Structure 1
Amino acid sequence: MTSPLPDYPVLPGIQSPTAVTVVDHRHIHRGFMDFSVMRLRHERFAGGMTPEIERDICHRGVAVAIILYDPAADLLVMIEQFRIGAYAAGVNPWLLEFVAGMVKPGEDPAAVATRETQEEAGCTPRAVRLIHSMLPSPGGSTEVVHLYAGLVDSTGLGGIHGLAEEVEDIRVHLVPADTAIAMLDANQVASGFTLLGLAWFARHRDRLRAEAGDGHDGPGDAALP
């Protein structure tokens, strides 16, 4: 099984178990997301193997999200859209998020982040770089999210965006950086990848502004931390 994530140890100098024996693996649904059931045994910390266990798996694929920051205006470009998972969980389904999208096999995730920014926010990011790769729900989903950061000029941005063929209805918001960080601290951000992105942004905002210079095209634009 090939992973799109680096194979880091749990902690430096710590050796984890490695053995997994798959007894049976069958797909039970194929659609926008695929679902399967796996029966397996895995190595225990104290040695030996577990009894046979059965686990359901949601095959979600690879996604990207991107923090869009205008350092000159000190604004984040964020989007609002309906999310079915939030609705099914009984949460307000119109969420404030960073631009995001799915990566098809063979696509470059950074290029997808740029394309999704153009489609969902009406602008093109520069100085795009990877800041985190994560498993949002490793207890039952294979989804990997690559989180990027990029600089934008927010002048004139706003309005409704999205692809008609995908029935996207996306509203762009220009959010002051202080407002976004305050929402993070007040537990007002429900989207997981947006929560992580804001936490990273709060730590690196000053460095972004310093290295971007005036926030428009210039020598500092390629130097995100």
Structure 2
Amino acid sequence: MEQERVDNLEIEILSDNWYTLKKVNFDFRKNDGNWERQSREAYDRGNGAAILLYNLEKETVILTKQFRMPTFLNGNTSGMMIEVCAGLLEKDNAEDCIRRETQEETGYEISNVEKVFEAYMSPGSVTEIVHFFIAEYHEDMKIGEGGGVDEEQEDIEVLELKFSEALIMMKDGKIKDGKTIMLLQHLQLQLILADS
């Protein structure tokens, strides 16, 4: 059994304008058993869910394209990112969240979703756990245009791409979103869709 590593926790809220940024001072027990006072910042935006929709007959996937300010600030000159459908859980469980987000962002109403794993995406600075899903889609599931929710200032383009094309875009840097890369590779590794 692993011994406790954190003691004397002090948390200060630095910002709660959009999500919550906390400064955390604490004593940390190092591997050699000695205690050291440390200070970190953690960004809490809640937990999220992401999904990759795929069609076996057409060998296609549904992705989204939207503006992401943090990527713009870090050298992505257009700020546009190609991603899987995703969203914050808010008060929903992960499955209900991803069904809602799928309909809002892509226009597809899905019922059967398969959870494949969950992961911390940036554990050095962000508290969020993302729940990852896949689901098969068909044209008769499309009940709207998607594009996101106006009140959330979303302006989302829906992309239907050949799976092989999405893999090429991942390799040549057109797809740089971690969630998307993980789910595309999951489909590839599980041999759900072919890559050629």
TM-score normalised according to structure 1 size:
0.78
Across the aligned residues of Structure 1 and Structure 2, the Cα RMSD in angstroms comes to 2.1
Alignment of 1:185-204 (within 5 A): 185-204=171-190
Other-structure match for 1:62: 47
Residue 174 to residue 156, structure 1, CA distance change in 2 (3 Å): farther
Residue range with higher mean Cα deviation, 152-161 or 20-29: 152-161
Is the counterpart of residue 77 in structure 1 residue 62 in structure 2? yes
User: What letter matches 1:36 in structure 2?
Assistant: K
Q: CA deviation at 1:46?
A: 2.0
Query: Do the aligned partners of 1:154 and 1:174 also contact (CA within 8 Å) in 2?
Result: no
Task: Find the aligned partners of 2:179 and 2:58 in 1 and give their Cα distance.
Answer: 23
Q: CA deviation at 1:84?
A: 1.2
Gaps of 5+ in 2: none
User: What letter matches 1:190 in structure 2?
Assistant: K
Task: Find the aligned partners of 1:19 and 1:164 in 2 and give their Cα distance.
Answer: 45
Cα deviation digits, residues 150-199 of structure 1 (max 9, x gap): 11014696966211111211111110011111222333321111111111
SS state at 2:51 partner? strand
- Matching residue within 52, 75, 86 for 2:37: 52
Alignment of 1:125-204 (within 5 A): 125-154=110-139, 161-204=147-190
Is the counterpart of residue 35 in structure 1 residue 6 in structure 2? no
Gaps of 5+ in 1: 1-14, 210-225
SS state at 1:124 partner? coil
Residue 126 to residue 43, structure 1, CA distance change in 2 (3 Å): same
User: What letter matches 2:178 in structure 1?
Assistant: G
SS state at 2:112 partner? strand
Task: Find the aligned partners of 1:22 and 1:70 in 2 and give their Cα distance.
Answer: 52
Query: Do the aligned partners of 1:159 and 1:171 also contact (CA within 8 Å) in 2?
Result: no
Query: Do the aligned partners of 2:108 and 2:141 also contact (CA within 8 Å) in 1?
Result: no
Query: Do the aligned partners of 1:16 and 1:45 also contact (CA within 8 Å) in 2?
Result: no
Query: Do the aligned partners of 2:22 and 2:41 also contact (CA within 8 Å) in 1?
Result: yes
User: What letter matches 1:59 in structure 2?
Assistant: D
- Matching residue within 86, 89, 114 for 1:100: 86
Task: Find the aligned partners of 2:100 and 2:123 in 1 and give their Cα distance.
Answer: 27
Larger RCO: 1 or 2 (CA < 8 Å, sep 6+)? 2
**Among the aligned pairs, what percent are the same residue?**
23
Task: Find the aligned partners of 1:67 and 1:18 in 2 and give their Cα distance.
Answer: 38
TM-score normalised according to structure 2 size:
0.89
For these two proteins, the number of residue pairs brought into alignment is 192
SS state at 1:202 partner? helix
Residue range with higher mean Cα deviation, 160-169 or 107-116: 160-169
Task: Find the aligned partners of 2:160 and 2:140 in 1 and give their Cα distance.
Answer: 10
User: What letter matches 1:110 in structure 2?
Assistant: E
Q: CA deviation at 1:126?
A: 3.8
Residue 201 to residue 80, structure 1, CA distance change in 2 (3 Å): same
Residue 200 to residue 79, structure 1, CA distance change in 2 (3 Å): same
